[in-house]
Amino acid sequence: MGKGYSTDQIRNVAFISHGGVGKTSIAEGILYATGQHDRFGSVVHGTTLLDFYPDEIDRKNSINLGLGHCEWGNNKINILDTPGYSDFYSDTIAAVNVADAAVLFLSATAGIEVGTEKMWALSQEKRLPAVLVINGMDKDNIEYNSIIADAKERFKKAIVPLQVPYGTGSDFKGIVDLMKQKLYVFPDNKSGKYKEKEIPADLDVSAEREELIELIAETDDDLLEKFFDGEELTDAELKSSLRSATLAGDALPLLFSVAPLNAGSTPILDAIVDYLPSPADRPVQLAEEGGELEQSSDGPLAAIVFKTMSEPHIGELSLIRVYSGSIKHGRDIYNATSGNNERIGQIYAVNGKKRSDMPSIIAGDIGALVKLKNTHTNDIITDKANQISLDHITFPKSVINLAVLPKKKGDEDKIASALHHIEDEDPTFSVYHDSELQQTIVRGLSEIHLEMLIQRMKNRYGVEVDMKSPRIPYRETLRGKAKVSYRHKKQTGGAGQFGEVYLYMDPYSENSVVPKEFNLRGEDLDDLPWGGKLHFINAIVGGSIDAKFIPAVKKGIMEAMKQGVIAGYSVINVRLILHDGKMHPVDSNENAFKTAGRMAFRNGFLDAKPAMLEPIYDVQITVPDDYMGDVMGDLNSRRGRIQGMDPMGRFQVIRAQVPLAELDKYSTVLRSITQGRGMYTREFSHYEEVPRDIAEKLKVSKEAD
C-alpha cells in the first residue's frame, strides 16, 4: 500500500468479541476482498494472515493481537484483531487503548456472552464509538431480533439495524441494505464483493426501512421535526445524523455477516468509513498537562508502543501508534518512559505475518519499528525538547502464579533469558525468584496463558521447563500471650558470650493496649518484608541492657520470625515488649543479645498459643445464570465463603472469599464447569487461621523435612 494518506483518511478499529464468534475470519475476509492476501485465510486450516503463530494455529483461535490494514474508498483502515478469551486479555486492552473505534461482533446463536460484556465495558471505558455485527446468519434456529432486543437492554444505546438478512440457516441468500434499499448477493468464490440487486417481491422490508428512519431521526432534533412534519428525509441526511450519533456514543449501527462465506465483510468496511471516526475526530487526552492534543502531523511528536514482538530474522518489532507529529527513517526520538534516546531504522506496515516498507508513520497511523534498543511495550515516545505526556496503558494484574523448574540441568541461564524476553513482550506476564519459597515464579492471567507462553518459549528459544503449583505462603502467628526469658552464655578459651533478655509477647492489633506493668521507653512498628506487623517496644528501665544492644535483640527476634517456629513459615502480627535483661561487663556483645532474642522468641512463641494462617483471596466470578448452582457448589467444596451476587444481564457476578490453597488450577475448572463461558479474577485479601486438620498436616510436613 504505497499511497499517502492524511489523518482524516485513517480508521483505527479494534475487532472485539467473545471468543469463537468469528471476528478473525471476518478480518481475513476483508484482507482478501481488498487484495491484501491472495487467498481467503481459514482459521480451521491454519492459513490466516493474522493468526500465524504455531500455538494459534494449533488452538484454532486468536492468542495474540493481529494487526492488518487495507484500503477502502481512499481510506486506510487499520484492523486490530483481538483475542476473545480472557486468558489473553492484555493484547485486547492494548488494541482498545490505541483504537479510535470498535466493531463488536455478536454470535447469531449465543447472542451476548460473558466475554461480550467484558469487551463492551472495556470499549466504553475508552468511549469508543462502535458498530455491531451479528455473525453467523447461516446457522439454524436463529432469533436475531431477540439478540437486538437484548443488545438494546444491555448496551443502553439506540441500536440501528442498517440491514436485514435475506434468509437464515441453509436458506441464507444475502443481505438487504435498508439505506440503499438494495439486496446484496455474495458470490460463491468468497471474494466478499457483492452484487447489488433489487429487493425480491417476496421480501417486504418496508417496516424495517421505516424503523430505520425513525431511529435515526430520534437522534437529531432537526431531523425528528422534519420526520413528524411528514417531510422526506434524504439518505445523505440519514447517514450524516447517524454518523453524528455514533460518534457521540448515542447510537450503534447494526450489520449482519456470514464469516465462512465472506458475506458481509465489505459492507462492514462501508460502515467503518461512513460512521466511525478518523483520528482527526478524536483529540488525545493528555496525562500530566491535562487538556487535549489534536491528532495532527504538524504537532509535536507523541506516540506509544503498544506491543513488542520478537520475530525470527528480524529481532524485536515494536508496534507503535502515533498521535501527533510523525516518525521517519533516521529520525531521533526520545523515550520518555526510559529516558533513552533512540534512532529510527526501518519502518514497516504490518499485515499479520507480512511486512512491507513504510516511508513514515503520520499522526493517527500505526506501524512497526525494528530493533529499538531500549524501548518496550507501554513506553511513551516524544521529542526530548518538546515532551508530550500521554497516559500509559493500564494492563490487568496477573492472578495466577506457577513455579517453573528446568527440565535439563545447565539450562538455567537460557531459561532466565527466555523468560525475560517474554516478559518484555507481554505486560501481564512476569517472572521473579521467591526467596521465601525458594522457587522461580511466573505470573499470568490464567493457567492457559502461562502454558501458552511456556510453549512459545520452547518453540522459539529451544528450552523447556516443568510447571507446578507454587508452595503456599502460609504464615504463623500467636493467639495468646507469654512471658519468657532466655540466657545465652557461652564460655570458650577466650572472650565468652553473655546476654539475657526478658520478653512479653502477645498478638498485635491496632487497638491493643500496652499492659500497665511496663514503662514504655521507645517503640517501633515495622511492616515486615513478608507481610504483617511487628510492634517492638523497649521497656528497659535501670539500664539492665545497654541501649546499644537493644537493636541486636530485635534483629534476633526478626530472624526467628522470618524462619518460623512451628512449621517453618514466617511469623506475622506480634507485639514484643523487651522489659528486662542482664549483661556481663566483658562477655556481652551484639551477637550474644541477638542469639538471646532469637531463642527467647522461639521458646515464648510455643507458649503463646501459636496458630497457622493461610492467604485468603477476594474472588469475582462472572457466569451465565444457568451455571450458578454448579459454580456455587464447587466454591463451597473449596471452603469458599459467598460474599454476595450482582446481576449483570443474563449473567451473575459472584463475590466470594476463597483460600489460595483451594484455587489451584481454578480457571481450568471454571472453564470446564461453564463450558468456557465463565471467567474470574482474584486479589489477595488477608490471612486467617487454617483449619486444625490442615495445620496439623503442615506441622507433620515440617517434621518430615
Judge whether residue 426 has pLDDT over 60. Answer: yes
How is residue 106 written as a grid cell? 455478536
| 300 sits in which H/E element | none
pLDDT of residue 586: 83
Report, as an integer, the average pLDDT of 368-394. Answer: 91
- C-alpha–C-alpha distance, residues 352 and 520, integer Å: 69
pLDDT of residue 542: 85
CATH of segment(s) 476-608: 3.30.230.10
Please calculate the CA angle 257-262-264 and round it to the nearest 5 degrees: 35
Q: pLDDT category, 312, cuts 50, 70, 90?
A: low
Report, as an integer, the average pLDDT of 350-377. Answer: 92
CATH of segment(s) 400-468: 3.30.70.870
Each residue's pLDDT tens digit, 159-187: 999 999 999 999 999 999 999 999 999 99
Judge whether residue 298 has pLDDT over 70. Answer: yes
pLDDT of residue 396: 85
Percentage of the chain beyond pLDDT 70 is 97
pLDDT of residue 513: 84
Judge whether residue 353 has pLDDT over 80. Answer: yes
Report, as an integer, the average pLDDT of 140-156. Answer: 92
Report, as an integer, the average pLDDT of 353-376. Answer: 92
How is residue 86 written as a grid cell? 480472557
Phi and psi at residue 219, to the nearest 5°:
-90, -5
Each residue's pLDDT tens digit, 577-616: 999 999 998 888 999 999 999 999 999 999 999 999 999 9
Judge whether residue 466 has pLDDT over 60. Answer: yes
Which CATH architecture group holds 613-704?
Answer: 2-Layer Sandwich (3.30)
Question: Where in the chain are the domains?
Answer: 8-198+250-282, 294-382, 400-468, 476-608, 613-704
- C-alpha–C-alpha distance, residues 511 and 488, integer Å: 34
- Lay out the sheet containing 482-490: strands in order across: 482-490, 497-507, 574-582, 533-538, 522-527
Homologous superfamily assigned to 8-198+250-282: P-loop containing nucleotide triphosphate hydrolases (3.40.50.300)
Q: pLDDT category, 553, cuts 50, 70, 90?
A: very high
CATH of segment(s) 294-382: 2.40.30.10
Same-fold call for 400-468 versus 613-704: yes
